[in-house]
Structure 1
């Protein structure tokens, strides 16, 4: 399906709302019926009807159609956070006694689900280094029902070979789930490689303006219907009409935003690679990245998120660097208009810092829509505070 058509027209039946160019926000909690039989049908199949805001909504429906089409999937659901999409995707496909294989060090709230919530219901998880297909093969147990992927990871940027993992999973009748937040559907489409369910944090590139928290889950119509009628409706984790409208607005410019970010990021990466205060840079499309060949085979772009290892003997040097930045904000997340940075040492106490531990000296940076020269000047400002 043509990208321009998806972003600008798909699902937008303008004659249904006064030929308005932008779809309206249908801000209602309830929908009325004139015939008892119509209400009866809505009760029987709420996934296909407008009955109550916890379920379907016309503004949300436009958005979900667009997002499913971008992923190359049959259908999609939009959640009030990426964590909600992860929860629903996993919980809908496990039962007591089941086993999950997950890539190691996934998104923190996925890991919390695997480590703390699911064990209460006798569901276990094995973590593997997803860079080698043999690690998945060796981890499979008779009760394995789900393989959970995150490619690339948002700190180490390790990749999994989607085609190989999907092939293995189908041979063993195991469901695959992939977190595609790093690439977005514009730069990677896991469904095309045989992955069953693909999710992403819409907070990132789909929104693009740092003003919405949301998550997306796409797959077959049958699977989306199953999740809608259980986890989605039971927990009430769908996004709001206003957030759906903001996400539709964000989609209008996603292509040009990603192009701009993808143009700027290599300039920042190359600058950092040559800086005396930087030990190394970790970026999937960099020629020195160990999996760069696989990255360029299954990804169409690498966007603006990368890590670099700063040379520092004391935690004060890293803190001074971060606090010396004037324009690059210190914050979590990514995908918005603003450039961000977050130091790995923020997750430990200052007295735990060890320069021998590379993770303590790792900085994760996101390149936004600013000009490369503007960001390099700010990074220089930060480096000077370390002296």
Structure 2
């Protein structure tokens, strides 16, 4: 996309944007400083607020998502928590899809509960069930598709129903990216990303971002962003800008490999099922074409530990979205103590699931790795 490859002229006509590694920005006169403190103009004051390198990243993601404005954070959870806390108050109720990202679930269960905000979890693939719980709610939190189980939601229908009932909608769009899904165009109010994933693409940054209308982002800037302190550094913003230059090419290559591997996995005797948005439906949205990570359910005669330990190209690790292929079995996440609010336990995720992220290695090499691991994992 031209947007990702093209910048307006940078200072000194530099091809790449400068890294403005400065904690503060000075003013020529007291009058200039007074005007800025009074809310006039756009000169940065302090990098915990605005920084030129971070602003360029925010502008590009906002344009990709079709939003008016964006605010970047030092992690995906920084973005999620700041967005939610800008919308709820004591006594409010939220509706959230089941199988949501585990740390988002922990935030809702452990922190929001202390603020007297209740959260009700509903199967997001059952649109009627979600709509039935919207009356009286303050926020509807979506993640399409969901972590581990890869369930999608009807964003347009849910956004319409929520708006009719005065419910603000948020959607985590990290999996599909703005290239394949634009929730704002479906009527969603705010979009959040773990920019550590595909937007970075190199597994060398931790970052998050929220995109929406100017009014929604202004509320975040007013109520949560300045005080929670989760600001993105200019160096990481620059790395994100660099990573986004190749976003279309990386996603295209990874999605082709996913197509090859998911078809073969469906037919392999070691695999009971493949959980992926492209499978099990005759109609696919652009967001559901290809895509990684996805989940496989192993047959009873395959040991998940042996299978994952036998892999050589797929590395054991959390997260996804980088150039490297990754694997994690559900038994690892299920091993976390229930006291930490374990989403996999609470949402009844089975022990035979394995999540795969397909990187930029050759699809045939990855298939050979999977095939030899299946052989070594037989009970």
- Scaled to the shorter chain, the TM-score interval is over 0.9
Q: CA deviation at 1:348?
A: 3.5
Q: Go from structure 1 to structure 2 and tell me whether the alpha carbon gap of 1:155 and 1:213 turns closer, same or farther (over 3 Å shift).
A: same
What's the TM-score once normalised by structure 1's chain length?
A: 0.91
Measured in 2, the distance between the counterparts of 1:216 and 1:93 equals: 16
Q: CA deviation at 1:46?
A: 8.4
Q: CA deviation at 1:44?
A: 2.6
Q: Go from structure 1 to structure 2 and tell me whether the alpha carbon gap of 1:145 and 1:47 turns closer, same or farther (over 3 Å shift).
A: farther
Q: CA deviation at 1:21?
A: 0.2
Q: 2:287 matched to 1:299?
A: yes
Q: Provide the secondary structure at the position in 2 that maps to 1:259.
A: helix
Q: 2:363 matched to 1:372?
A: yes
Q: Provide the secondary structure at the position in 2 that maps to 1:342.
A: strand
Aligned pairs for 1:190-229 (under 5 A) are 190-229=183-222
Q: CA deviation at 1:358?
A: 6.9
Q: CA deviation at 1:230?
A: 2.4
Q: Is the 8 Å Cα contact of residues 183 and 302 (structure 1) preserved in structure 2?
A: no
Structure 1 partner of 2:6:
9
- Aligned with residue 255 of structure 1, among 248, 255, 258: 248
Q: Is the 8 Å Cα contact of residues 277 and 288 (structure 2) preserved in structure 1?
A: no
Measured in 1, the distance between the counterparts of 2:44 and 2:13 equals: 21
Q: CA RMSD in A?
A: 1.8
Aligned pair count? 367
Q: CA deviation at 1:212?
A: 0.5
Mean alpha-carbon deviation: is it higher for 121-130 or for 206-215?
121-130
Q: CA deviation at 1:238?
A: 1.5
Residue by residue over 1:320-376, the C-alpha shift from the partner in whole angstroms, topping out at 9 and shown as x without a partner, is 1111111110111111000111101112359xxxxxx87100010011101111101
Aligned pairs for 1:1-387 (under 5 A) are 3-4=1-2, 6-10=3-7, 12-14=8-10, 17-45=11-39, 48-142=42-136, 144-286=137-279, 289-290=280-281, 293=283, 296-297=284-285, 299=287, 301-313=289-301, 317-349=303-335, 359-387=350-378
Q: CA deviation at 1:36?
A: 1.1
Measured in 1, the distance between the counterparts of 2:255 and 2:351 equals: 27
Mean alpha-carbon deviation: is it higher for 213-222 or for 112-121?
112-121
Instruction: Please identify runs of 4+ aligned residues in structure 1 that moved more than 6 A.
Output: none
Q: Go from structure 1 to structure 2 and tell me whether the alpha carbon gap of 1:346 and 1:300 turns closer, same or farther (over 3 Å shift).
A: closer
What's the TM-score once normalised by structure 2's chain length?
A: 0.93
Q: Is the 8 Å Cα contact of residues 140 and 168 (structure 2) preserved in structure 1?
A: yes
Q: CA deviation at 1:302?
A: 3.4
Q: Is the 8 Å Cα contact of residues 154 and 182 (structure 1) preserved in structure 2?
A: no
Q: Is the 8 Å Cα contact of residues 147 and 175 (structure 1) preserved in structure 2?
A: yes
Q: Go from structure 1 to structure 2 and tell me whether the alpha carbon gap of 1:383 and 1:247 turns closer, same or farther (over 3 Å shift).
A: same
Q: CA deviation at 1:181?
A: 1.0
Q: Is the 8 Å Cα contact of residues 76 and 218 (structure 1) preserved in structure 2?
A: yes
Q: Provide the secondary structure at the position in 1 that maps to 2:227.
A: helix
Q: Is the 8 Å Cα contact of residues 262 and 304 (structure 1) preserved in structure 2?
A: yes
Mean alpha-carbon deviation: is it higher for 200-209 or for 225-234?
225-234
Q: Provide the secondary structure at the position in 2 that maps to 1:178.
A: strand
Mean alpha-carbon deviation: is it higher for 225-234 or for 247-256?
225-234
Q: Is the 8 Å Cα contact of residues 321 and 386 (structure 1) preserved in structure 2?
A: yes
> Which runs of 5 or more residues in structure 2 are unaligned?
337-347
Q: Go from structure 1 to structure 2 and tell me whether the alpha carbon gap of 1:196 and 1:40 turns closer, same or farther (over 3 Å shift).
A: same
Q: CA deviation at 1:198?
A: 0.4
> Which runs of 5 or more residues in structure 1 are unaligned?
351-356
